[in-house]
Amino acid sequence: MRAVQCTRWGGPETLTFAEVPPAALRPGEVRVAVAAAGVNFADLLMIAGKYQENPPLPFSPGFEIAGAVEEVAPGVTAWRRGDRVMGMLPFGGYAEQVVLPAERVIALPPSLDFAAAGGFPVAYGTAYGAFAWRARLRPGERVLVFGAAGGVGLASVAVARVLGGEVIAVASGRERLAVAEAHGAAHLIDSGSEDVAARVRALTGGRGVDVVLDPVGGPAFETALRCLASEGRLVVIGFASGQVGTLSAGVALGKNIDLIGCYWGAYRDGADAARVRRAYAELGRWVEAGKIAPHVAARVPLAEAPRALALMSGRTLAGKIVLVG
Ligand SMILES: NC(=O)c1ccc[n+]([C@@H]2O[C@H](COP(=O)([O-])OP(=O)(O)OC[C@H]3O[C@@H](n4cnc5c(N)ncnc54)[C@H](OP(=O)(O)O)[C@@H]3O)[C@@H](O)[C@H]2O)c1
């Protein structure tokens, strides 16, 4: 099979596209013919050797895929050849085939096509984990989403809205904000031209928001702290700015706020598998009910993965970029 390969640490230009031996199918596993693989900011970190869990070289990047089951190990009864599925991996999704443990395979909601499904598990799983599990968002609460035109950000706008939140979306560029609006944002703030904290104060009558979702860090984290209401919760998702925010315990005490971490990848294994499956089952019902509609910003051929990563870094599109076979 062919796969995108990282053979040395570096930027997207260092990736190669090569013939590699397919992984062996071990007991309990399922082989999937990949139709689409989601592109994530963390792929850039991993190929640069800067992710929190880097595999040894050489490897294929890629945290998520969708496709059709090709082969199941003897004894696996939950899946059959031809089933339409999606799933998350520690790496390896930028390939024509992947092998996954059967319990981590997720059935595709019938109305999702492969391209939308290839970019679904990370963004929507993380958004669900952030609001339903970690922040315990309640209907009517005000939610501020930074990076709202990004992969996780746009999914977070949609998920917070379904859970009853009133969403304020922050992103750079009016066209990208219009996509956030179409996914459920009630208010839009252009971080390229507006004072985010001042707009939030005006929108909330000076009170601030109940929950902030921050995938950006750095200056966004500082602004997030200023935008929180008393008893507000700040959910830290990532650091797309390259800067990790810091919170003094004194500020947490003085403002009566919670700092909440959410790392969806940590729920991938073992004890959490059943809970994760229930989360995706609920997300699937929302897809079928028309409550969420994953947005594909661009489909790029697998062989052109460096171009897909450059498109994501360019910050001109909204939603997920997906590699297709
Ligand atoms: N915790 C988890 O489980 C989890 C899961 C998935 C992703 N993440 C993390 O969440 C972050 C976003 O991931 P993603 O895949 O959604 O990325 P993405 O699609 O590239 O979105 C990131 C957004 O961050 C904003 N941004 C601000 N400063 C930036 C900078 N210097 N460089 C790039 N973007 C910048 C951009 O919005 P504007 O252009 O509008 O400013 C961009 O749309 C990453 O740090 C990733 O590692 C965490």
Q: Is residue 96 part of a domain?
A: yes
Which residues, including other chains, have CB under 8 Å from residue 169's CB and lie 6 or more apart?
A: 145, 148, 149, 153, 157, 177, 180, 181, 185, 187, 188, 189
The confidence score (pLDDT) of residue 268 equals 80
Q: What is the mean pLDDT of the chain?
A: 97
Mean pLDDT of 78-87: 98
Claim to verify: residue 110 and residue 144 sit in the same structural domain: no
Q: Is residue 184 part of a domain?
A: yes
Mean pLDDT of 228-241: 98
The confidence score (pLDDT) of residue 107 equals 97
| Residue in the block written with tokens 């996954």 | 100
Q: Is the CB of 311 under 6 A from ligand 1?
A: no
Claim to verify: residue 99 and residue 135 sit in the same structural domain: no
Q: Is the CB of 135 under 6 A from ligand 1?
A: no
- Residues 241-270 pLDDT 10s: 999 999 999 999 999 999 999 999 999 877
Mean pLDDT of 156-167: 98
Degrees to nearest 5, angle at CA 252 with 249 and 256: 145
Claim to verify: residue 144 and residue 220 sit in the same structural domain: yes
The confidence score (pLDDT) of residue 325 equals 87
Burial label for 304, CB within 10 Å (0-12, 13-18, 19+), is: middle
Number of the ligand 1 atom closest to the C-alpha atom of 220: 27
Neighbours of 302 (CB within 10 A): 20
Q: Is residue 156 part of a domain?
A: yes
Res. 225: pLDDT tops 80: yes
Res. 312: pLDDT tops 80: yes
Q: Is the CB of 235 under 6 A from ligand 1?
A: no
Domain ranges, residue 234 = 123-265
Residue 35 pLDDT class (50, 70, 90 cuts): very high
Taking CA atoms only, the protein residue closest to ligand 1 atom 37 is 147
User: What is the whole-number distance in angstroms between the Cα of residue 7 and the centre of ligand 1?
Assistant: 25
Among 265, 286, 305, the domain-final residue is 265
Taking CA atoms only, the protein residue closest to ligand 1 atom 24 is 147
Res. 214: pLDDT tops 80: yes
User: What is the whole-number distance in angstroms between the Cα of residue 116 and the centre of ligand 1?
Assistant: 19
Claim to verify: residue 159 and residue 191 sit in the same structural domain: yes
Sign (positive or negative) of CA dihedral 297, 303, 304, 308 = positive
User: What is the whole-number distance in angstroms between the Cα of residue 9 and the centre of ligand 1?
Assistant: 20
How far CA 196 is from CA of 114, 127, 193, 318, in Å, comes to 36, 22, 9, 19
| SS3 assignment, position 120 | coil
Q: Is the CB of 208 under 6 A from ligand 1?
A: no
Q: Is the CB of 38 under 6 A from ligand 1?
A: no
Q: Is the CB of 264 under 6 A from ligand 1?
A: yes
User: What is the whole-number distance in angstroms between the Cα of residue 30 and the centre of ligand 1?
Assistant: 31
Claim to verify: residue 36 and residue 83 sit in the same structural domain: yes
Taking CA atoms only, the protein residue closest to ligand 1 atom 31 is 241
The confidence score (pLDDT) of residue 271 equals 83
Which phi and psi angles does 26 have, rounded to 5°?
-100, 170
**Are 238 and 41 contacting, i.e. CB atoms less than 8 angstroms apart?**
yes
Claim to verify: residue 58 and residue 107 sit in the same structural domain: yes
Claim to verify: residue 150 and residue 114 sit in the same structural domain: no
Claim to verify: residue 251 and residue 128 sit in the same structural domain: yes
User: What is the whole-number distance in angstroms between the Cα of residue 17 and the centre of ligand 1?
Assistant: 25
Q: Is the CB of 42 under 6 A from ligand 1?
A: yes
Nearest CA to 305 out of 288, 322, 291 is that of 322
DSSP letter at 261 equals E
Neighbours of 13 (CB within 10 A): 8
**Are 30 and 71 contacting, i.e. CB atoms less than 8 angstroms apart?**
yes
Neighbours of 282 (CB within 10 A): 13
The confidence score (pLDDT) of residue 322 equals 98
Q: Is the CB of 167 under 6 A from ligand 1?
A: no
Tokens of 223: 């602004």
Q: Residue 140: left (phi > 0), alpha (psi -120 to 50), or beta?
A: left
Q: Tell me the CATH number at 145.
A: 3.90.180.10
Res. 286: pLDDT tops 80: yes
Neighbours of 132 (CB within 10 A): 17
The confidence score (pLDDT) of residue 240 equals 97
Q: Is residue 83 part of a domain?
A: yes
How far CA 132 is from CA of 128, 183, 199, 205, in Å, comes to 5, 18, 26, 26
Nearest CA to 122 out of 62, 188, 185 is that of 62
Strand partners, 95: 3
Q: Is the CB of 158 under 6 A from ligand 1?
A: no
Res. 301: pLDDT tops 90: yes
- The span from the CA of 70 to the CA of 33, in Å, is 6
Res. 55: pLDDT tops 90: yes
Higher pLDDT among residues 271 and 28, named by residue? 28
Mean pLDDT of 135-142: 98
Q: Is residue 278 part of a domain?
A: no
| SS3 assignment, position 304 | helix
DSSP string over 49-101: T-SSSPPPSSB---SEEEEEEEEE-TT--S--TT-EEEEE-SS--SBSEEEEE
- The span from the CA of 143 to the CA of 148, in Å, is 12
| SS3 assignment, position 166 | strand
Q: How many domains does the chain have?
A: 2
pTM reported for the whole predicted model = 0.98
Residue 78 pLDDT class (50, 70, 90 cuts): very high
